[in-house]
Structure formats: structure tokens, C-alpha cells
Amino acid sequence: MDIFQHYIDGCFEEASQTFDSIDPATAQPWARMPRAGAQDVDRAVRAADRALRDPAWAGLNATQRGRLLFRLADLIERDVALLAQLETRDTGKIIRETSFQLRYVAEYYRYYGGLADKIEGRCVPVDKPDMEAFIHNEPIGVVAAIVPWNSQLFLSAVKLAPALAAGCTIVLKASEEAPAPLLAFARLVHEAGFPPGVLSILTGFGDDCGRCLTSHPLVSRIAFTGGPATARHVVRNSAENLASLSLELGGKSPMLVFGDADLDSTVNAIMAGIFAASGQSCVAGSRLLVHKDIAGELLSRLAGRAGLIRIGAPDDLTTEMGPLATKRQLEHVDALVKRSVEQGAALVTGGKPATQAGAGYYYEPTILLCENAQTACLEEEFFGPVLSVLLFEDEADAIQKANDSKFGLAAGVFTQNLARAHRVVKALRSGVVWVNTYRVISPMMPFGGYGLSGLGREGGREAIGDYLRTKSVWIRTSDEPISDPFVMR
């Protein structure tokens, strides 16, 4: 089997403990991964803390930091084929999608590389005589970044790129499920020339790695992507170091289709929103809200398209949907579909593991038509290729049903009525709203959610500010002695 290493303080090293990573397309082990313990985490964090003051990093000006990020982007583009193959092998995401996404990941490093020397302070016209006052921005410190197994290279880029541009140092924990692409990415970090300790990459499990990292006293900021249950542990851990937090936690995103929608375009957007990446996306459009007058036609089109999706080996260029990433995920999706059917949901298509695709963790593209919003499939996140459909009467009913969720990450609105689009966008409690499109991203746009979908935003100019600490500077400009402190004027 392939053997991977940790990258700590500028060195690649074997771990004292390892675990096997499973290929979801075959359900067989394919690689041996290092398992970080508390001592490994402590060494990585202390190295990051030292690097904050080391002239090799601290002595670089912002333009020089930006050049390192541009160099890293070039290396990612050079090695897209290798990184995509590793992500496909370890996660089951189809090779067409990993290759496409990784080329765009490089743009995040370029965007923040360009912003590195645009971080500015400002003078403040204070109301005190003989005083000059200005605000200076400094790196917040050591960042603990934690990402899940889906789209690890993208989800790490939205954390690493602004943090490095700001001058922070980082310890990145890859998911214990499918960490191969990030452990391979460490070689590009090394080749790009980042000084030792600036970015360490390791993987491990919750108690002996994640908990130690998020509670470490030298960590100043935690950037986490994952589920709400784990996020609650992260928040509790942060009480130990009072680190600032950003939490991106997934969702149960609604797609609202009104009677005047362009159905050809809408069908394509829905298919991309729920069946791309086998539904394993935090913004998966898993709740479809359809106006009752067009529901029959739209469902017929969707069922027909879903039945034609090519399910197969993720490294085959003709495959359109690969396996789920883990056996546990397959079992979760199947159990949730069965529970929803027991609660009254009608199975339109799919609804079972796709055994014809092989021994891996495949599941059929599935559509469920629900009578009411209290069905499990409309309330719980699947993280799988399952579309739950609910009908609505009018605009007010659509908005009420869309907002009837503890999540609020993303939403899609499909209508040719511009006035309606603006009204609905304003009314939706979602951090991202797409109109007549879906699942579009850019490094220039912030991303994040409401409610149990998390705290804070990633992407855009705003993200750099979360990795900076504000320093207020006062300079007295008078040559006169300071007045008697006990005489008030």
C-alpha cells in the first residue's frame, strides 16, 4: 500500500501510529496514513509559534508573502493530475470533478497572494490635541485549520490562503477519512519555499489530535469546516485558549422553483446541485420546493435524468456519479431514506444502494416526494444523492417552507420575474443565494451561513480581516512636558 507522512516544522516524518485509508470504489484498503497524537500536535503548534517570530517568515514583507502564494498556485496547477487522482482514489469523487475543481483552487491562492500587500492600516482623526493615532494590522497568530474529507484541497485553500497572506502560521488537520490529497499537498508547500513551521499538515482522530489542536494554549484562531456535532466540541475546546472561531457547518439548502422558471435550465441546475459529487457537498440543494402547477412536469424530467446518470468507477472519465466516501455514510443515507418512506415520503426514483456498480459504497440517485415538512429527509442532512421534494402554493408559502430549517447555508431561486427574485432573496435566511443558477463560487465572494450552518465567512476580501489583530497606536507630538496627572483640564 501507499504510505503517507506528516509534514511538521518543515520535515516529512513517519508517525508512531498509522491507520488504513479505504478506497470507497472497492471498499478495500489502499494506503497507510500517519496518525498524529498529542505530542505531534504540540510540536506542530510550537513550531508555528516560533515561526511567527522567525525572521525567515516574520521578516518577509507582504509582497514577498504574496509571491510565495503565487508560487504555490503554480505548483498546484502543475500537479493537478496527481492531486486529482489522489482525491478521487481516497474520496470516490469522480476524476472529472476533482480535476476541474483543483484547477480553480489555484485561483484562491492567487487571489489572496494579490491581496497580501493590500492590507492597510489607517490614521484616525482623534479628538485629542497633540496626538497622532493610527491603526496597525498584525497577524492574529497561530491558526488551527480543520477540514472534512469532501473537497479538502478547496476547503483548506479558503483558510490557508487568507491566513498566509495575513502573515499567520498554521497547523492544518486533514480529515482522518481520505487525507491523501492534503498530505501530498504538503510537498508543494515545501517546494514553494515556505519557511519551516509556517504550515504543518497532519491527520488523526478527534480526541488525540483534534481536541489537542483546538484547545492548545498557543492557538489564537480556529477555522473549522465540518458538522454541528463536532463543532460543539470545537467551541468547548476553544474555551481553553479563547481562540477566535469560524465555523462552516453544512446545510439543508432549499431550491425554490416558481411556475415561470425556465425548466430546461432549472433541471440542469438541480441535477448539479444534488447529484454532483454524489450529493456530498455542504451546499447540496437537497430540498426542492416546487410550485404545485409545474410539479408533475418537473418531477418527470428530473426522474428521467436521474435514471440516466452513469454510476461507476470514479477514475473512469465516462462516470457521472461515483461512490459515497465511507461505508458509514452509505448506511446513514440508506437508513434515512427508509425512515422517510416509513413517514410517508413517496419514492419517485432510486432509494437503494447501487450494487450494480461494484463492491464500493454506491447509492442510486434518489428523489423523494414529501407530503409535509416534518419528514426526516427534509429535516436532516443526507450528504448523499437524495433530493427531497415539497410543493408550495404561492410565494409566501415557498419562503416559509424554505426558512423552516435549523440550517441556512445556501439557497437557489428559479424564476424569470426579477421583482420576485429580489423579494425572495431578501426574505431567505441563507448566507448564499443563487438566482437561476446553483453551486457557483469565486475567491472574490464571501461564503458562510446562518443558524446551524455556522459562524463567520470565508472567501472575499473580508476573510483576511479574520486573520488579523488590530493594534491601536498613539503618538504624542507635543514637545511640552506632560501636564500634572492630578490636575484635570
* Average pLDDT score, the chain: 96
Q: What is the pLDDT of residues 121-146, one digit of tens each?
A: 999 999 999 999 999 999 999 999 99
Domain 2-249+453-473 fold is Aldehyde Dehydrogenase; Chain A, domain 1 (3.40.605)
CATH 3.40.309.10 boundaries in the chain: 254-435
Average pLDDT over every residue of 385-396: 98
Which residue type sits at 5?
Answer: Q
Q: What is the pLDDT of residues 27-49, one digit of tens each?
A: 999 999 999 999 999 999 999 99
Q: Widest CA span of the chain, in angstroms?
A: 88
Q: Which residues contact 44 (CB under 8 A, 6 or more apart)?
A: 8, 9, 36, 171, 200, 202
The residues annotated as belonging to the active site are: 248
Closest CA to 242 of 262, 228, 221: 221
Q: Does 379 have pLDDT greater than 80? A: yes
Angle (nearest 5°) at CA 231 between 76 and 69: 20
Give phi and psi for 142, each to the nearest 5.
Answer: -80, 130
Q: Does 225 have pLDDT greater than 70? A: yes
Handedness of CA 69, 70, 71, 73 (dihedral sign): positive
d(Cα 95, Cα 9) in Å, to the nearest integer? 32
Q: pLDDT value at position 489?
A: 67
160-191 burial, b at 16+ Cβ within 10 Å, e below that, comes to bbbbbbbbbbbbbbbbbbbbbbbbbbbbbbbe
d(Cα 442, Cα 81) in Å, to the nearest integer? 22
| Percent residues over pLDDT 90 in the chain | 94
Q: Does 382 have pLDDT greater than 70? A: yes
**Which pLDDT band, with edges at 50, 70 and 90, does 286 fall under?**
very high
Q: pLDDT value at position 268?
A: 97
CATH 3.40.605.10 boundaries in the chain: 2-249+453-473
Q: Does 478 have pLDDT greater than 80? A: yes
Q: What is the 3-state secondary structure (H, E, C) of the chain?
A: CEECCEEECCEEECCCEEEEEEECCCCEEEEEEEECCHHHHHHHHHHHHHHHHCHHHHCCCHHHHHHHHHHHHHHHHHCHHHHHHHHHHHHCCCHHHHHHHHHHHHHHHHHHHHHHHHCCCEEECCCCCCEEEEEEEEECCEEEEECCCCCHHHHHHHHHHHHHHHCCEEEEEECCCCCHHHHHHHHHHHHHCCCCCCEEEEECCHHHHHHHHHCCCCEEEEEEECCHHHHHHHHHHHCCCCCEEEEECCCCCEEEECCCCCHHHHHHHHHHHHHHHHHCCCCCCCEEEEECCCHHHHHHHHHHHHHHCCECCCCCCCCCECCCCCHHHHHHHHHHHHHHHHCCCEEEECCCECHHHCCCCCECCEEEECCCCCCHHHHCCCCCCEEEEEEECCHHHHHHHHCCCCEECEEEEECCCHHHHHHHHHHCCCCEEEECCCCCCCCCCCECCEECCEECCECCCHHHHCCEEEEEEEEECCCCCCCCCCCCC
CATH superfamily of 254-435: Aldehyde Dehydrogenase; Chain A, domain 2 (3.40.309.10)
Output the pTM of the full model. 0.95
d(Cα 88, Cα 152) in Å, to the nearest integer? 11
Q: pLDDT value at position 260?
A: 98
Q: What is the pLDDT of residues 418-427, one digit of tens each?
A: 999 999 999 9
Average pLDDT over every residue of 162-184: 97
Position with higher pLDDT, 386 vs 250: 386
Q: pLDDT value at position 221?
A: 98
Q: Which residues contact 261 (CB under 8 A, 6 or more apart)?
A: 294, 414, 415, 416, 436
Average pLDDT over every residue of 377-395: 96
Q: How many CA atoms lie within 13 A of 456 on its CB side?
A: 21
Whether residue 92 contacts residue 99, with contact meaning beta carbons closer than 8 Å, is answered with no
Q: Does 289 have pLDDT greater than 90? A: yes
Q: How many CB atoms lie within 10 A of CB 435?
A: 17
Closest CA to 45 of 193, 214, 204: 214
Whether residue 326 contacts residue 317, with contact meaning beta carbons closer than 8 Å, is answered with no
Determine how β-strand 199-203 pairs with β-strand 169-174.
Answer: parallel
d(Cα 463, Cα 447) in Å, to the nearest integer? 9
Q: pLDDT value at position 148?
A: 94
Distances (CA, A) of 24 to 29, 32, 105, 154, 326: 9, 15, 24, 20, 6
Q: What is the pLDDT of residues 301-323, one digit of tens each?
A: 999 999 999 999 999 999 999 99
Q: What is the pLDDT of residues 322-370, one digit of tens each?
A: 999 999 999 999 999 999 999 999 999 999 999 877 789 999 999 999 9
Q: What would the grid cell of residue 374 be? A: 416534518
